[in-house]
Amino acid sequence: MKLKNTPVQQICFQQQTVFVKRDDLLSKGFTGNKARKFYHFLQQDLSGVDKLIGHGSPQANSLFSLSELAKLRQCQLDFYVDHIPSYLREHPRGNYRAALENGANIIALDGQVDSVLNHIREQVLPKESNALFIPEGGRCRYAEVGVKILADEILQWANLQGFSELRIVLPSGTGTTALFLQKNLPFDVFTCACVGGDPYLKQQFFELEEDSALHPKILSAGRKYHFGKLYPEFYAIWQHLRAETGIEFDLLYDPLAWICLQQLLNADVADSRPVLYIHQGGLLGNETMLPRYLRKLALQREPGSRK
């Protein structure tokens, strides 16, 4: 099975042209960043494998993507999480809801183990002879297979446009996607740390590539943002982009990257290299993020509210 080549859309941001690689349109279910990172497992010979095993947050994009992969490969998915919040259990939404609908077996260890990963390694995998374990969020060398295909699509597009130089911009979690893009492209890749700050991201780069000359450039927003928390400026730029371009971005990663891109464009007006922003999908997460934002903003508008 092959994934199709995703389109590039031209938008206007800050009175400048920005190109957006619509990887959110990769396919209906198996899509975006995680589809690129898990592509290897879509291609790999899985005869003899009847179960995929993953772990992470019950809201993670990778949970839903693994459930899609399991469906495509006709495997069971066992996904281990530390804990499922009761409101989510009672009102399944977003990635959690969609993964359940795909038949995922989501196993909450509820604080009974020190480390979910060690539990899987020591207790689960030895008893599962026909299972394939996939590291959290697809952070592994296998991710390069699919990300290289993305890089090749970008190169092809740049050639068609006659662009010899390009600035690639995308937000990072583990930094796996940004790093493998940088390794496979002759253009500068700019990213920002949505999870854990700049030193954490740098460390992630080193784990995948010792040569720091091959690392993406890290953009900083000038202040610390915590992953998954709500920030009015995040919602504002997300809504601005949706109104101006008609494109829905994700609310967890994309807002910080657009804020960083805004600063980059303002700081470096002389840099005429075109910008290509990678839309990495993750829109199911908005099913939980958007109501949270709307609740927060409604509370702030209530007269007499203390915020």
Ligand X SMILES: *Cc1c(COP(=O)(O)O)cnc(C)c1O
Q: Under the rule (CB under 6 A), what is the footprint of ligand X?
A: 32-34, 61, 137, 171-178, 250, 253, 280-282
Are 36 and 143 in contact, with CB atoms under 8 Å apart?
Answer: yes
Q: What's the closest the beta carbon of residue 121 comes to ligand X, in angstroms?
A: 21
Q: What's the closest the beta carbon of residue 128 comes to ligand X, in angstroms?
A: 25
- Which C-beta is closer to ligand X: that of 32 or that of 54? 32
The length of the chain in residues reads 307
Q: What's the closest the beta carbon of residue 296 comes to ligand X, in angstroms?
A: 21
- Which C-beta is closer to ligand X: that of 92 or that of 146? 146
Q: What's the closest the beta carbon of residue 122 comes to ligand X, in angstroms?
A: 25
- Which C-beta is closer to ligand X: that of 165 or that of 199? 199
- Which C-beta is closer to ligand X: that of 70 or that of 181? 181
Q: Which residue has the tokens 């934002």?
A: 293
Secondary element (H or E) of residue 203: helix 197-208
- Which C-beta is closer to ligand X: that of 26 or that of 84? 26
Question: Distance (Å, rounded) from C-alpha 199 to C-alpha 292?
Answer: 29
Q: Which residue is nearest to ligand X (CB)?
A: 282
- Which C-beta is closer to ligand X: that of 34 or that of 167? 34
Q: What's the closest the beta carbon of residue 206 comes to ligand X, in angstroms?
A: 15
- Which C-beta is closer to ligand X: that of 196 or that of 274? 196
Amino acid at 155: L
Are 23 and 147 in contact, with CB atoms under 8 Å apart?
Answer: no
| Residue 71 DSSP SS3 | helix
Measured CA to CA in angstroms, residue 16 lies from 20, 255, 274 at distances of 13, 18, 9
Question: Distance (Å, rounded) from C-alpha 281 to C-alpha 75?
Answer: 24
Q: What's the closest the beta carbon of residue 252 comes to ligand X, in angstroms?
A: 7
Q: What's the closest the beta carbon of residue 150 comes to ligand X, in angstroms?
A: 11
Burial class (CB within 10 angstroms; exposed 0-12, middle 13-18, buried 19+) of 118: exposed
Are 132 and 41 in contact, with CB atoms under 8 Å apart?
Answer: yes
Are 107 and 78 in contact, with CB atoms under 8 Å apart?
Answer: yes
Q: What's the closest the beta carbon of residue 257 comes to ligand X, in angstroms?
A: 9
Residue 180, Cβ neighbours under 10 Å: how many?
26
Amino acid at 173: G
DSSP 123: I
- Which C-beta is closer to ligand X: that of 67 or that of 174? 174
15: left (phi over 0), alpha (psi -120 to 50) or beta: left
